Chains A and B, each alone.
Chain A
Amino acid sequence: MTPLPAGRLRRAVQAEWTKLRTVPSLPWLLAAAVGLTVLGSAGSLASVDTSQCPTPSECFEDTTKLSLSGVWLGQAAVVVLGVLAMGSEYGTGTIGPTLAATPSRRLVLLAKAVAVTAVALVAGVVGVLGSLAAGRAILPGNGFTSANGYEPLSLADGPTLRAAGGTVLYLVLVGLLSLGVATAVRGTAGAITGVLALLYAFPIVAQLVSDPRWQHRLERYGPMEAGLSVQHTMRLDELSIAPWPGLGVLATYAGFALVSGLTLFLLRDA
């Protein structure tokens, strides 16, 4: 019996995509990623208005960043997604059938990464668009009007486009980071706790360090802070780390997690 002619990667990705989409939790996770992002953005937007500033035109508010801020909440759903992509195989024991069907572990991890990237991309694009729409709707009502020097948010604006695209990339990287950690740790609970701690607790711990030099370093190299640097559209020269290098930092974390995960995956028994 001959198999249908198709590349190995394509087959593996197809299988992984089927696995991801045939699990009841996927639509919920997608909805949570998008919903939390938009909700978080709307919340931030609603609570800031020009009356809190010395004068409305002296706010110098980065409305794009404010509008995209909800991703810091929505990323939790993407973490769960990325972890489950590998973690649930260990939890249910399907890692056996998976490796029996595709013995090349490199291929398995790569295919999972592709599937997670695709889902995170969708969640990211929808979430970002929703957040920007919320920004367009809420900002003028809070005093951020063109009269005060705030143009309505628009993707035609270069920096805004970069911030939006970068935010989508951010989510993808968070998903891949989670996949890597789950592969290394071979479980769901530990991986989710670990990644959430890395993302959210890093800044808390960074505040502990009283030496301002070290604190600055930690701010530059924390995965969430560095990654979200891409959302800034103003005063870029005053940031702890520039937008794209910031994403690069997050990508390094994700890469490290994936490489460690792959190494352990290759060396250990299933």
Chain B
Amino acid sequence: MRRDGFGRLVLAEWTKLRTVPRWMTVLAGLVGVTALFALIDTSDQGGDVSEGESLQDADFTDDFHFVHQPLTGDGNIVARVVSQENSHEWAKAGLIVKERLEPGAPYAAVLVTPEHGVRMQWDFGEDVAGSENGEAPRWLRLTRSGDVVTGYESADGTDWQEVGEVDLEDLPSTVEVGLFVASPLAVEIERQYGNNSLSEIPTPGEAMFDNVRVALDRGSPAPGDGEWNDYDTSVEPDLGGSTESDGVFTVRGSGDIAENVRPFDDDLVERSLTGAGVGMLAVVALGALFITAEFKRGMIRTTFAACPGRGRVLAAKAIVLGGAAFSAGLAAAVASFLVSMRTLRTAERAPGTPELSLANPTVLRALVGTAVLFALVAVFSLAVATIVRHTAVAIPLVILPLLIPSIESGGLPLSVANWLVRLTPAAGLAVQQTITRYDTAIAPLVGLGVMAAYAAVALGVATLLLRRRDA
């Protein structure tokens, strides 16, 4: 076949698709059906945004224990973190410069973690990695020079490597510096009565410091009296505290200095797209039928007589089907989203969650991603049907791995359920996620990639078999 013959082949396959009224009705109908589902979602105003979270929550948490003293002018603080309890993989122990003793005040900190090495953090979300194996015991240093705070680490206290440099802007002359310990909340899953119950529980962070020294640069005003004070905003008061003996500080704290992550929030965008996920099933059926209809009455022989290049035929079918599914999926996703918008806008959302509109890139990614998912599912179905040749077998083979991991059935533990999602085509549904939750198994685009891999492999096997077998 000449090269431009492929274009004609695609046109032929498109004609095959669009001239079966039933199939076109299904494609059009699924858009309506998914919009209907979205309507169900919004049919009541009892939309509950998050479970039991206070809506006055700011978009940061500033919970930790601070052993501090004031610093006026330029200077630095050095300490060695002798040991750190592994209360959480992201437990933090280190040095911090804080503008003032108030939640939300600007800060910069250099710290060690049990499993993520040395980090420098600031602004409730900014994070820079130091050395990967940096865990206690480790030397840390923070220097303040005007508005600029620089963090250093060292293995021995003599050779220092810079971790990061932060410009805190309009830092007052006197700031608080000192040691701090924090340990984020952990999501605990407990099984009882056959159900998994989830809760966020505080973790007890603890660390020991020694060789703590605060020094001033030459020419700076006189220091304070060098006395250490405690400032505690730990999530539970008896999890925060400090003791000192012979220059060794044992500090305990619980909480996190970071952006506020609420793992139990509803992902409103994902919910509005649930209907589209169901509409996708119709696309599965279509994908299978598009090829098995030809096998049935030997029509495939006519097709192959017209174009002996079987791989090309399958490719053309995939392109046409994928395109149609993409369009239907995009229409369905946008329709669902717009229908849900009314409630989404009026629902109480905690501040800090992204604005839900079509202009939001995250939302856009979820919508377009859904359309791409439709196309991938359709092509996957086409490929599977080409391999097994029977609609009755192909359809369940595609639908089950798509749907099953989405349902908590048999009360599977979360870790198992998450692995099911990561390894099956259900991963593709992750593209609809817009927030990170406790049950987020896989990143959105990675999930879509898993689905794409399934489709690609299936298509490859299908092409191989199509060429080998008799028509």
Contact = CB atoms under 8 A, between A and B. Distances in A.
Q: Do chains A and B touch in the complex (CB under 8 A)?
A: yes
Interface of A: 25, 40, 43-44, 47-48, 52-54, 58-62, 65-66, 69-70, 72-73, 76-77, 79-80, 83-84, 87-88, 91, 188-190, 192-193, 196-197, 200-201, 203-205, 207-212, 214, 234-235
B52 interface: no
B285 A208 contact: no
A28 B393 CA distance: 10
A205 B282 contact: no
Interface string B187-229: 0011111100000000000000000000000000000000000
Given A44-B412, A72-B409, A200 B193 contact: no
A189 B287 CA distance: 10
Contacts of B37: 205, 208
A96 B21 CA distance: 25
Most chain B beta-carbon contacts within 10 A, residue among A60, A62, A76, A192 = A192
28 contacts: A25-B393, A40-B410, A53-B192, A58-B192, A59-B191, A59-B192, A61-B193, A62-B194, A65-B194, A73-B400, A84-B392, A88-B392, A91-B296, A189-B292, A189-B392, A193-B281, A193-B282, A196-B396, A196-B400, A197-B399, A200-B403, A201-B277, A204-B274, A204-B406, A205-B274, A208-B271, A210-B48, A235-B193
B113 interface: no
B413 A47 contact: yes
A18 B411 CA distance: 40
Q: Contact size class for B?
A: 35 or more
B278 A204 contact: yes
Given A40-B410, A47-B412, A60-B193, A76 B396 contact: yes
B41 interface: yes
A192 B404 contact: no
A58 B284 CA distance: 44
Nearest to B26: A190
Contact of A196 (B281, B407, B416): B281
B44 interface: yes
Given A48-B191, A210-B48, A205 B400 contact: no
B112 to A, nearest CB: 30
Nearest to A72: B409
Interface string B297-325: 00000000000000000000000000000
A260 B48 CA distance: 38
A87 B296 CA distance: 14
A189 B396 contact: no
B289 interface: yes
A59 B275 CA distance: 35
Given A25-B390, A91-B296, A196-B403, 7 more contacts: A60-B194, A69-B410, A72-B409, A196-B395, A205-B278, A208-B41, A208-B275
Given A83-B392, A193-B285, A211-B46, A203 B407 contact: yes
A52 B189 contact: yes
Contact of B409 (A25, A69, A88, A201): A69
Contacts of A53: 190-192
Interface of B: 37, 40-41, 43-44, 46-48, 189-194, 271, 274-275, 277-278, 281-282, 284-285, 288-289, 292, 296, 390-393, 395-396, 399-400, 403-404, 406-407, 409-413, 416
Contact of B46 (A79, A189, A212): A212
B357 to A, nearest CB: 21
What does DSSP make chain A's interface, helix, strand, loop or mixed?
helix
A214 B44 contact: yes
A55 to B, nearest CB: 10
Contact of A209 (B41, B192, B411): B41
Most chain A beta-carbon contacts within 10 A, residue among B43, B409, B416 = B409
Contacts of B395: 189, 192-193, 196
A87 B403 contact: no
Contacts of B416: 47
Contacts of B410: 40, 43-44, 66, 69-70, 72
Most chain A beta-carbon contacts within 10 A, residue among B41, B275, B407 = B407
A52 B277 contact: no
A59 B192 CA distance: 5
B378 to A, nearest CB: 13
A69 B391 CA distance: 27
Contacts of B47: 210
A88 B296 CA distance: 12
A213 to B, nearest CB: 9
A66 B44 contact: no
B44 A209 contact: yes
A201 to B, nearest CB: 5
